Amino acid sequence: MSKGYGTTVGRSSRRRILRLAGGGIAMAALGAGLTGCDDDLAAGGDGSTPPPGASTEDGRAPEDGRAPEPLWTKTTSAQTFGDNDELVAVDGVVIASGDPLAALDTASGDERWSLPDGAVPGAPLLLGDGTLYLASGTYDGNVIGYTPASGKETWRSHLGKEYRQPRPVAVDAEQVYVIAEILEADHSSRTNVIAALNSGTGKVVWKEQRDLGTQQNGVHAVVRGRYLVYTDFKKNLTVRDTATGRQVWTHKTTKTSYGPFAVHQDLVIVPQGQRLQAFALSDGSEKWSVETERYTSFREPSLVEDVLYIADSGRTLWAVEPGTGKKIWQSTALKDAGAQVPRQFVKAGGTLYGATGLDKQGGVHAFDAKTGALRWTFNDESGDYHAWLIATDGKRVFALHGKKLHALPA
């Protein structure tokens, strides 16, 4: 299973600072970036967000636009940094990255299984071919696969003693792709390696040393056919051959923060400030681009059911044809409501759900997927500074905010 994610642009957000800190970046970066936190707050505006209200019998929001009440709410062990792949719903369970790693029943919220030292904070929960792949929470160099419904271990691999803290970044039907530090004789590390592990045997298929100055943290990756695509903290967009590890091409995306992007068929789609650009996976040539208004920047894109959804800092929501860049619709509902910009999207039925960053005007927005009209916003009013994360099983939308996990009717 391959995933597409979006990119944060502009100055540092608090979400970015948390991810930097979680990835082991020097605390100096934290102090330097705090002045950028008002970007996320400014996106919220001064408007009011509809509070949760009573839901109707079929779970839909009442006619007055008030959000439905959660079907259940649980306190979790979540330790997240705002990455979209730190919350997953699969095979009847919903799992949030944390220690212990716990799987909750999607219908009741009851715990189905728990795994001490199950997840490394900031590392993704990767799903592929019915397996949940994790970096070992005991930091012993293992990458482990589990059955999501039961938590049973089904696969294990070790890159080698000369490497430290391998983290899976992507998975396809045949291979698990990891990035790890290369250890020096004094146990320090100045370089890192990207490698492919066979998802059947766990054996190393190939490994390639990355350029000096690159980092093993902050990598977002997607596999599409013969191509492995990833971004990193150094604002590189890189494509490698999945069979050999050979680098096909790389671009410096100077206006793009590290982070999520989207992949559709033979294109990789990356926000770069005011422009949204699509590059050919085969050679990096630009195939289309879209521009938003002056002084505004595109945020994180999500590819959902062959439609690219993306918001900009001016609080306009876009639906775009990913193959051509053609606009399907634009909505100013967020601006009209003074609501915060979403950074992650999922869809259930005819409703598009968007999760935002910081409170107080944040939360989970519900939009009409055909027009972008804002139906309601759910906010737990906790004031927690963590970004909202969402996932869906088609029947429910799961909203994680700090330690609180809410199940909303879809």
- Is the separation of the CB atoms in 367 and 331 below 8 Å? yes
Q: pLDDT > 70: what percent of the chain?
A: 82
In one-letter notation, the amino acid at residue 134 is L
Between 30-34, 95-99, 134-138, the lowest mean confidence (pLDDT) is in: 30-34
Residue 33 has pLDDT above 60, yes or no: no
- Is the separation of the CB atoms in 7 and 231 below 8 Å? yes
The pair phi, psi for residue 164, each rounded to 5°, is -125, 140
Residue 28 has pLDDT above 50, yes or no: no
For residue 171, the model assigns a pLDDT of: 97
pLDDT tens per residue across span 70-90: 999 999 999 888 888 999 999
The helix (run of H) or strand (run of E) holding residue 262 is strand 262-264
Average pLDDT over all residues of the chain:
84
Segment 189-204 shows an average pLDDT of 93
DSSP state of 293: -
Q: Which of 165, 163, 147, 166 is nearest to 155 (CA)?
A: 147
* R_g over Cα of the chain: 20
For residue 60, the model assigns a pLDDT of: 52
Query: How far, in Å, CA of 44 to CA of 358, rounded?
Result: 9
Residues forming beta bridges with residue 244, ordered by sequence position: none
3-state class percentages of the chain: helix first, strand second, coil last, to nearest 5: 10, 45, 50
Query: How far, in Å, CA of 259 to CA of 142, rounded?
Result: 25
Q: C-alpha 291: how far from its chain's center?
A: 23
DSSP three-state, residue 25: coil
Burial 309-320 (b: 16+ CB within 10 A, else e): bbbbbbbbbbbb
pLDDT tens per residue across span 275-312: 999 999 999 999 999 999 999 999 999 999 999 999 99
DSSP state of 378: E
Segment 9-24 shows an average pLDDT of 36
The pair of three-digit structure tokens given for residue 17, joined into one six-digit string: 């600072």
For residue 289, the model assigns a pLDDT of: 96
DSSP three-state, residue 330: strand
Query: How far, in Å, CA of 338 to CA of 318, rounded?
Result: 17
pTM score, whole prediction: 0.83
Position 64 confidence tier, pLDDT thresholds 50, 70, 90: low
Burial zone of 302 (CB within 10 Å; 0-12 exposed, 13-18 middle, 19+ buried): buried
Between 17-26, 260-269, 386-395, the lowest mean confidence (pLDDT) is in: 17-26
The pair phi, psi for residue 321, each rounded to 5°, is -75, 115
The helix (run of H) or strand (run of E) holding residue 38 is helix 38-44
For residue 42, the model assigns a pLDDT of: 35
Q: C-alpha 334: how far from its chain's center?
A: 21
> Residue 388: how many CA atoms within 13 Å on its side-chain side?
34
Residue 49 has pLDDT above 60, yes or no: no
- Is the separation of the CB atoms in 101 and 113 below 8 Å? no
Position 174 confidence tier, pLDDT thresholds 50, 70, 90: very high
Q: pLDDT > 90: what percent of the chain?
A: 66
Position 144 confidence tier, pLDDT thresholds 50, 70, 90: very high
For residue 233, the model assigns a pLDDT of: 80
Burial 4-21 (b: 16+ CB within 10 A, else e): bbbbbbbebbbbbbbbbb
Residue 334 has pLDDT above 70, yes or no: yes
Burial 58-92 (b: 16+ CB within 10 A, else e): eebbeeeebbbbbbbebebebbbbbbbbbbbbbbe
The pair of three-digit structure tokens given for residue 92, joined into one six-digit string: 């009847």
Residue 173 has pLDDT above 70, yes or no: yes
CA distance to 61, 81, 101, 212, per residue, from 386 (Å): 25, 8, 19, 33
Position 189 confidence tier, pLDDT thresholds 50, 70, 90: confident
The pair phi, psi for residue 399, each rounded to 5°, is -120, 115
Residue 178 has pLDDT above 90, yes or no: yes
Position 183 confidence tier, pLDDT thresholds 50, 70, 90: confident
For residue 52, the model assigns a pLDDT of: 44
Q: Which of 167, 169, 179, 176 is nearest to 119 (CA)?
A: 167
